[in-house]
Structure 1
Amino acid sequence: MADQASPAKQARPSMSSSMRSSSFLNEHQQYRPPSKPENHYGIDTVVEDLQATAITHTPRQISPFNGIPSPENPPTIVESGLSHELSHPNCTPTPGTASATKLVATLFYKSTAPRISNAIPSPRRAASPQQPQSPKLAAADELPGNMAPSSSLDTFPLEPPGAEPEPLDHLYGSHISPMCITSFLHLMSTFPLPTGSTDLTSAHRCLKLDQDHGNHPLVVELTLAPAPSPDYLSLEDLRKHELIYRFEREWNVDVVLRHDTLWRRYPRLVVFDMDSTLITQEVIDLLAATIKDPPDLAARVADITHRAMLGELEFDSAFRERVKLLTGLPATIFEELRSVLDVTNGVRPLLRALKRLGVKTAVLSGGFLPLTSWLAGELGIDYAHANEVVIDKATGRLTGEVKGRIVGKERKCELLLEIAAKEGIALEQVVAVGDGANDLLMMDAAGLGVAWNAKPRVQMEASARLNGDSLLDLLYLFGFTSEEVEGLTA
């Protein structure tokens, strides 16, 4: 077979420089950066035409750095439709002009207690399948009792109460969303500023993220300067303002307002109530529940306790009345109840963190000293004060009497002042945490009074409210971040 000449190798097809600038590319190219010269379409073209191309370079005029941004020309960052004005971190306000007028607002999202839209449904009308009904009203087939003062037609109101604001966190996110922060800043801008101030500046930072659901903010700290004019509205009145309350309802948050002072970040003494604060129960109710005769005793004692915590009854006389009902109980009951006490979520790591920070702690209880002292020892609390009941030595049973002064609202306040004086601690660095009306005086004496899942009157009167599921949230009021909290509680 004769050898055949091998075919000539075909050259690789390519487009010449002239073809690259043809009308085909001009007409069919989907995207061409407008800044490129018309005859340049790639780096290979640039290299091929380099010798034929005259390159000229004109130095670009660069504006010199003018120093730290000024209030007249602050830098602005626009993100997700929000505009944030930033100040340089090295800027120092004029001495004596800003520190005393800064206001810190700490926003806590109440993720454990989501609001229900239209929580009070129309009578005899089922809830919408898209909108879950409140558990308390799930079986309601008529108007709830809180909608009218009476069931009598003569005293029935002519109009139903005003509707609650729509829960906006349902629309913008079940967390502290940018719209929530914007709404709060807009609210604060409606209050008059001090004389001589023209602008309200603000900065915010996230203290806690919801790591289980998209890392959304759950606790945010905002610093505003200046605070609203004290001549128009004191801080105490601002905390109770109707606009603040409505904002909290709309966005399902708790707002804690404090002046930005040095003592805010450095507490030295934290005083706790015991029942329904350090523990989730009322000890006197637990004692009454052990008495089976008469069968309604536990309910009667619980009703007195509830009314006393609401402030409807004078605490001292109510306590004596309840202790009288416990006559005949064996003194050993206090030891038996130790295993029943349910310590509030977050208390143990909170006390561990306070101990590492060198903060003194105390429990001032309107309950009983045997249990209070035992719990203080278990938790590592420095001071413990409570009521002493009289025990018949012959029978070993309670006589129904109380020894010495009752640890009520006045005595709690006195004990707080005594402990602070003994430790040499200024009241500005004292924090008091409680839930009942008998805690209000000591909360008022402290630099910060915190109502923990408290009764309505206490929520209104206290300088701060926490309504979460962990008392560890107290640390966020001092400006700690979640990373710092984890380090303190490890």
Structure 2
Amino acid sequence: MADEGSPQKQGRPSLTPSMRSSSFLQEHQQYRPPNKPENHYGIDTVVEDIQATQISAPRQISPFNGIPSPDNPPRIVESGVSHELSHPNCTPAPGTSSERLVATLFYKSTPRVSNDVHSPQKVPSPQAGQSPKLAGADSDISANLGPSSSLDTFPLEPPTSGPDPLDHIYGSYISPMCITSFLHLMSSFPLPPGSNDLTSAHRCLKLGAAPDHHPQVVELTLSPLPSPDYLSLDDLRKHELIYSFEREWNVDVALRADTLWRRYPRLVVFDMDSTLITQEVIDLLAATIKDPPDLAARVADITHRAMLGELEFEGAFRARVELLTGLSADIFTRLRAVLDVTNGVRPLLRALKRLGVKTAVLSGGFLPLTSWLAGSLGLDYAYANEVVIDEATGRLTGEVKGTIVGAVRKRELLIEIAAKEGIALEQVVAVGDGANDLLMMEAAGLGVAWNAKPLVQMEAGARLNGESISDLLYLLGFTDEEVHTLTA
């Protein structure tokens, strides 16, 4: 018999059912297939006390076959985050078609600091022998605010002050408030019958410089398009609300239907003067003639009025070439060194070539320079005007040989090149700046006005007013990362 004061023996430690659980795999697995009961447990549970183990009911998982449905879109709610797997870029259900609008917003590199527009001052009539002055020379209205350089044809009501600029308040870039404002604007247009909601998604294509890397180009996809019975896409591009938005936020808005051909161009056609190069060649030619001393100004004035659409191009071109009578033909060789290729042209053409896109230049200028430039830049086609040269003297006679490459001829050449290459017109892009480029822009799937005259900006399918013509790649939907890859 044990003494009262002696310590009692401790029992042998044992693993009771309350201290056990099912197997390691059951505790640590992250996925349990639904509707399949767990029919196997750890060996200790099976031997000692299977009745003590609680079997949890399987979680109810809503079936989802991976195809979002507008009627019942799959939704994930976890830790306060709600995410719907539907998206305006998703493929539509069988038997239906998607109608999406792509809006590309380009922030202009120069912020708008003032929106004040005063009444135009009367430009004095030119004296005999003098060239007329352009609007803006003696006026506080910029020449590009109206499709005219003559006060006689200026709009009866001069442009009024625009809306207050908002980019200096919310940031000199495409801010979230800018995107929100654009979506609010688009929601004001009626939707097609049967559509109740406007869905949207956006992605940044280009970031600004360090250190902030703010968005400079943003692409928005909206579905569906505004009701075509109320507003066509061409009319939407010219709508006063779009224009007002651009003025408020200092952006350019390019609107396109989201078709397959939008992302896969096969031919890009360029104007030459003020597009591939920053100058007008005929003005460079005129500047070399010192007698009479005002010849360069007279030629420049005709050029400007023709680009604005005030003068018929072919007649204006013949008149300017006539003024060049007697100029030595070797001037075309000498001018090669002074041609200023537009910023971004070389990387743009390098990218298009890597994509397998054909390129062409259709110029209302002179074939000797156009052909040389096309060879230098690696373009596939080059068309321009041929001037008559006196073989005895080697000087220009002031005449033009053959059909003048004006607005009609440019359109014809675009169609001919596309047919020769077997390319649909929907996959052609035309880029220009003057009124004589409008017909070829209209024939192409996309017409782009590059730092263009007001009339051209109003009529073109899209407009770019930046510092680099390579911005065209963002209009095609490429991101900055992809652009760097293509232009490397």
TM range (shorter): 0.7 to 0.9
Which of 319, 323, 326 does residue 324 from structure 2 map onto? Answer: 326
Partners of 2:474 and 2:298 in 1: CA distance: 39
Counterpart of 1:217 in structure 2 is 215
Asked if 1:116 is matched to 2:120, the reply is no
Counterpart of 2:361 in structure 1 is 363
Partners of 1:116 and 1:91 in 2: CA distance: 41
Counterpart of 1:36 in structure 2 is none
Counterpart of 1:29 in structure 2 is none
How many pairs align? 404
Counterpart of 1:47 in structure 2 is none
Counterpart of 2:413 in structure 1 is 415
Query: C-alpha offsets along residues 258-309 of structure 1, whole Å, 9 cap, x if unaligned?
Result: 1111100000000000000000000000000000011100000000000000
Counterpart of 1:290 in structure 2 is 288
Q: Which runs of 4+ in 1 moved over 2 A?
A: 57-77, 83-92, 95-99, 117-123, 142-149, 159-163
Counterpart of 1:234 in structure 2 is 232
How far did residue 66 of structure 1 move?
5.4
Cα–Cα, structure 1 residues 88 and 253, in superposed 2: closer, same or farther, change >3 Å? closer
Q: Output the amino acid matched with 1:247.
A: F
CA contact (8 A) 1:98 1:226 kept: no
Counterpart of 1:263 in structure 2 is 261
Which of 392, 397, 400 does residue 394 from structure 1 map onto? Answer: 392
Asked if 1:277 is matched to 2:288, the reply is no
Name the SS of the counterpart of 2:190 in structure 1. Answer: coil
Cα–Cα, structure 1 residues 185 and 405, in superposed 2: closer, same or farther, change >3 Å? same
Aligned-pair Cα RMSD in Å: 3.0
Cα–Cα, structure 1 residues 248 and 62, in superposed 2: closer, same or farther, change >3 Å? farther
How far did residue 212 of structure 1 move?
2.7
How far did residue 478 of structure 1 move?
1.2
Counterpart of 2:61 in structure 1 is 64
Q: Output the amino acid matched with 2:113.
A: I
Query: C-alpha offsets along residues 429-472 of structure 1, whole Å, 9 cap, x if unaligned?
Result: 00000000000000000000000000000000000000001010
Counterpart of 2:479 in structure 1 is 481
For 1:120-131, what aligned pairs fall within 5 Å after superposition?
120=117
Counterpart of 2:449 in structure 1 is 451
How far did residue 90 of structure 1 move?
9.6
How far did residue 409 of structure 1 move?
0.2
Cα–Cα, structure 1 residues 424 and 330, in superposed 2: closer, same or farther, change >3 Å? same
How far did residue 98 of structure 1 move?
4.0
Which of 168, 184, 187 does residue 186 from structure 1 map onto? Answer: 184
Cα–Cα, structure 1 residues 118 and 106, in superposed 2: closer, same or farther, change >3 Å? closer
Partners of 1:443 and 1:433 in 2: CA distance: 7
Query: C-alpha offsets along residues 8-65 of structure 1, whole Å, 9 cap, x if unaligned?
Result: xxxxxxxxxxxxxxxxxxxxxxxxxxxxxxxxxxxxxxxxxxxxxxxxx998996635
Partners of 2:244 and 2:404 in 1: CA distance: 38
Counterpart of 2:382 in structure 1 is 384
Q: Output the amino acid matched with 1:245.
A: Y
Q: Output the amino acid matched with 1:385.
A: Y
Query: C-alpha offsets along residues 376-407 of structure 1, whole Å, 9 cap, x if unaligned?
Result: 00000000000000000000000000000100
Partners of 1:88 and 1:443 in 2: CA distance: 32
Q: Output the amino acid matched with 2:61.
A: P
Partners of 1:119 and 1:60 in 2: CA distance: 72
Asked if 1:104 is matched to 2:94, the reply is no
Q: Output the amino acid matched with 1:97.
A: T
Counterpart of 1:93 in structure 2 is 92
Counterpart of 1:51 in structure 2 is none
In structure 2, runs of 5+ residues without a counterpart are 1-53, 121-136
Q: Output the amino acid matched with 1:481.
A: T
CA contact (8 A) 2:73 2:86 kept: no
How far did residue 86 of structure 1 move?
6.2
Partners of 2:455 and 2:88 in 1: CA distance: 41
Identity across the alignment (%): 78
Cα–Cα, structure 1 residues 249 and 85, in superposed 2: closer, same or farther, change >3 Å? farther
